[in-house]
Amino acid sequence: MSNMPTPRQQSLRTVLFWAVPAALLFLPLATNAYTQFIVNGMLISVLVTLGFSLVIGNLGQLAFANTAFFGIGAYASAILSAKLGIPWILTVPLAGAFGALGGFLASVAALRGIRSYYLAIITLAFGELMRWAYLHAKPLTGGTDGMPMPRETMFGISLSDDTLKFYIFLAVTVLLVKGTLNLMRSRFGRAVMAVRENEIATASLAIPTARVILATFAWSGLVVGCAGALFARHVGHVFPESFGMLQLIASFAMVLVGGLGSVLGAVLGAVLLTALPEYLRAFPGMEELFFGLIVAAVLVAMPRGLASLLRRLSPVFTERYYREGA
């Protein structure tokens, strides 16, 4: 019946959590510039998927505003760097704040009783509206030409350096994943799931459901907004097209392949689906076909995503929504 980790497995989990980023610290020594660029993009995808999964998986709301949060973060970073001369690294938390604001706006729809397919449509419209704004607010966003990120150095190294970017992206990703895990393994994480399972019963337990919904959307927006700021620096030039339906579908696939509502799943889904197209380049002309087939195969074999496979292998990967000890 029980699939819970023993204390030893819990310590192993903690070791694993820190071992992965620790090992990644050495990655730039073992890789070439191209792979480094791909891995940097992977870290961004991890954050985008994590924020998305939180809302559609844990909170159970069919909200697709994550592309909007991503764009808001990227444009906030670009505008603050280029127009106001704020050092890029400082625009990362600011982009997170703008993303959180976007999340707050999206939650207003859910809180006004717009749910299910209606919430899906209205949040999709929000994303398209933002894209329209990037295209038409030309003096601010550069319109179709987009916005180049200004040249900048940190510690005397140019911010176009992928190794430097990697360490910054890794630090931001680890911080946000750890913060999200802290939130999930607490009364907040339980309340988020409770709203998904039975909102009426949740309120009867003295849980302010409206505040829980608002906070979940805002945190999701913050995580994805920060990812937007990283993305702006990653590609060096922000275009409206980066924040359309393709981006949305890609992150939706990452959420599902990894496992809805699982932090581990968000990481796995993002890593696999970012890496996969690179391997498929060996089959020119067949890339999309293979990509689609692999995604479909994973979902048919594991409807609960890659995370469920790991859970079956060992209780070390069982996700709990409480925290006993440190």
Partner 1 sequence: MTLLLETTGLSVRFSGLTALDGVSFRLDEGQVRAVIGPNGAGKSTLFNAISGYVTPTSGSVLLKGEELTKLSPHEIAEKGIRRTFQNGGLFPELTVLENVLTGLHAQTEGSFLDILLGRAKAIESEAAMIAKARDLLKLMSMDHMADARAGDLSGGQQRIVEIVRTVASDPPVLLLDEPAVGLSPVARAQMMEIIQRLAGEKGVGILLIEHAVELVMAAADRILVMAAGARIAEGTPAEIREDRAVLEAYLGHA
Give the residues lining the site for partner 1 (CB under 8 A).
1-4, 178-179, 182-183, 186-188, 190-191, 193-194, 196-198, 200-209, 215, 320-326
Distances (CA, A) of 12 to 17, 22, 264, 311: 9, 15, 15, 14
Task: Give, for 153, the enclosing helix (H) or strand (E).
Answer: strand 153-154
* CA 39/CA 48 separation, integer angstroms: 14
Minimum Å gap between C-beta 322 and partner 1 is 6
- Between 37 and 188, whose beta carbon lies closer to partner 1? 188
- Between 82 and 207, whose beta carbon lies closer to partner 1? 207
Minimum Å gap between C-beta 24 and partner 1 is 22
Minimum Å gap between C-beta 178 and partner 1 is 8
- Residue 275 CA, chain-centre distance (Å), reads 16
- Between 130 and 174, whose beta carbon lies closer to partner 1? 174
Minimum Å gap between C-beta 21 and partner 1 is 16
Q: Per-residue DSSP letters for 84-147?
A: T---HHHHHHHHHHHHHHHHHHHHHHHHTT--HHHHHHHHHHHHHHHHHHHHH-HHHH-GGG-E
Is 91 in contact with 77 (CB distance < 8 Å)? yes
Minimum Å gap between C-beta 291 and partner 1 is 30
Cα four-point dihedral sign 282, 253, 264, 304: negative
- Between 208 and 292, whose beta carbon lies closer to partner 1? 208
Minimum Å gap between C-beta 203 and partner 1 is 4
Other C-beta atoms lying within 10 Å of the C-beta of residue 132 = 11
- Between 199 and 278, whose beta carbon lies closer to partner 1? 199
* CA 254/CA 233 separation, integer angstroms: 22
Minimum Å gap between C-beta 257 and partner 1 is 20
Minimum Å gap between C-beta 114 and partner 1 is 19
- Between 159 and 226, whose beta carbon lies closer to partner 1? 226
Under 8 Å CB-to-CB from 257, ≥6 apart: which residues?
Answer: 268, 269, 272, 273, 295, 298, 299, 305, 306
- Between 150 and 185, whose beta carbon lies closer to partner 1? 185
Task: Give, for 202, the enclosing helix (H) or strand (E).
Answer: helix 199-203
* CA 246/CA 24 separation, integer angstroms: 29
Task: Give, for 157, the enclosing helix (H) or strand (E).
Answer: strand 157-158
- Between 60 and 277, whose beta carbon lies closer to partner 1? 60
